């Protein structure tokens, strides 16, 4: 019993998701499970003993067989260029987790759910959507997801399948940098007008989870409160200055 | 990039705090000693780096908690925190 400690995990599979994003499937002996929305701290140690530590959101649902982390490669990063590009099956990394009781969703928390993601901010929200599907929850849910281009959309096929199989789930994409020919969807950064158009009204008291680069998260959270949403029902997870949406 | 881009959520400090406290701290509530606002630590604004983290009140910006690690010790500065509520149900079990 006691505080969280570091443990060794082994990479069982690396699956490319987009040009800059990959999912790592990890075997973690004695993993006790987690909640949708939680993260882990991951630590790499160089041969000279230098250590670098970063937080990564868990993508797999609580009942997942393996722990899945989906990681975006940051060119000037210390950890992600290894995880996306160099890491191979059989490699070992150190983990501490699961962490966080704030940015989590369980079916009994209800909804309606408003999930807002920028780029790889979709990862913890995907754990929520997967958990929601696995528990056959029909909590009305809308995911508003901002990506640079269609090729940068993480989990694109799976999101399409989930939405097609479930009338209570709607996925709305906005592509901020380039749009394919004939794109009917939104093509601008998430703003108050877009949130008002596709999100739930404040009178429906949605539970909102917003995740992505710090600027996007703060702009969306501020817009939601301005639109009349209860600040205590808007939960945020800022990724810092990672990526540009 | 400016300082604003580096801002994170208290949630990010939860791993570090879990080495100090036996509770899942991001869901625990604390009061700001400056403005009195009550917030979950996970909802506070955070600045973090390898050695430590600073949590600030989302209401007034006052530093509520500072935690740092170095020389085989943990350091905690809680001057900005009026009170801290710990939920028995958030006890971390291994």
Q: What is the mean pLDDT of residues B13-18?
A: 88
CA separation for the pair A18, A67 (Å, rounded)? 19
Domains of chain A: 7-99 (2.40.30.10), 107-238 (3.40.50.80)
- Residues 6 or more apart from B81 whose CB is under 8 A from it? B30, B31, B32, B33, B64, B65
Please indicate, yes or no, if residue B63 is contained in any of the structural domains: yes
Helix and strand numbers, DSSP H then E, in chain A: 5, 11
Distance CA A54, CA A188 (A): 30
Whether B93 maps to a domain, the answer reads no
Contact A103, A125 (CB under 8 A): no
Chain A interface mutation, best of B3, B12, B28, highest count of A Cβ atoms under 10 Å:
B12
Q: What is the pLDDT of residues A24-54, one digit of tens each?
A: 999 999 888 899 999 999 999 888 988 888 8
C-alpha distances (whole Å) from B41 to each of A78, A117, A171, B14 are 27, 22, 30, 8
Mean per-residue pLDDT over chain A, rounded: 92
Q: Which residues of A touch B6 (CB under 8 A)?
A: 214, 240-241
Task: Tell whether the model's pLDDT for residue A136 goes beyond 50.
Answer: yes
The size of chain A, in residues, is: 245
Question: Minimal Cα–Cα distance from B79 to chain A, Å?
Answer: 23
Any domain includes B30: yes
Q: Chain B residues within 8 A (CB-CB) of chain A?
A: 1, 4-12, 14-15, 18-22, 24, 26-27, 40-43, 50, 90, 92-94
Q: Would the pLDDT of A242 be above 70?
A: no
**Total domain count, chain B:** 1
Complex ipTM value: 0.81
Contacts of A99 in chain B (CB under 8 A): 11, 14-15, 18, 24, 26
- Domain containing B62 equals 3-88
Specify whether the CB–CB gap between A91 and A14 falls below 8 A.
Answer: no
Write the pLDDT tens digit of every residue in B21-47. 888 899 999 999 999 999 999 999 999
> Is B94 inside a domain boundary?
no
């Amino acid at each position: 019993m006691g505080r969280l400690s570091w443990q060794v995990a082994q990479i069982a599979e690396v699956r490319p998701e987009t040009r800059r994003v990959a999912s790592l499937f990890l075997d973690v002996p004695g993993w006790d499970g987690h909640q949708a929305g939680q993260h882990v701290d991951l630590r790499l140690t160089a041969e000279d003993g230098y250590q670098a530590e970063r937080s990564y959101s868990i993508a797999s649902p609580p009942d997942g067989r393996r722990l899945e982390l989906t990681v975006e490669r940051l060119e000037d990063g210390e950890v992600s260029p290894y995880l996306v590009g160099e890491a191979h099956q059989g490699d070992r990394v150190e983990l501490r987790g699961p962490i966080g009781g704030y940015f989590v969703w369980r079916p009994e928390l209800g909804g309606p759910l408003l999930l807002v993601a920028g780029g790889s901010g979709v990862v913890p929200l995907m754990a929520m959507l997967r958990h929601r599907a696995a528990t056959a929850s029909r909590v009305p849910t809308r995911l508003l997801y901002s990506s640079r281009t269609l090729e940068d959309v993480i989990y694109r096929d799976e999101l399409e399948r989930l939405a097609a199989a479930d009338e209570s789930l709607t996925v709305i994409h906005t592509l901020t940098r380039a749009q394919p020919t004939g794109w009917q969807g939104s093509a601008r950064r998430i703003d108050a007008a877009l949130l008002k158009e596709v999100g739930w009204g404040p009178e429906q008291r949605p539970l909102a989870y917003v995740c992505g680069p710090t600027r996007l998260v703060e702009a969306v959270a501020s817009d939601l409160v301005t639109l009349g949403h209860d600040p205590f029902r808007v939960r945020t997870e800022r990724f810092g200055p990672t990526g540009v949406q | 990039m400016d300082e604003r881009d580096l801002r994170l959520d208290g949630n990010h400090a939860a791993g570090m705090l879990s080495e100090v406290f036996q509770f899942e701290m991001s869901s625990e509530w604390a009061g700001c000693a400056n403005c009195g606002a009550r917030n979950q630590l996970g909802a506070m604004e955070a600045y973090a780096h390898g050695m430590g983290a600073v949590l600030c009140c989302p209401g007034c910006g006052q530093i509520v908690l500072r935690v740092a690690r170095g020389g085989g010790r943990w350091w905690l500065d809680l001057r900005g925190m009026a009170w801290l509520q710990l939920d028995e149900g958030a006890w971390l079990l291994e």
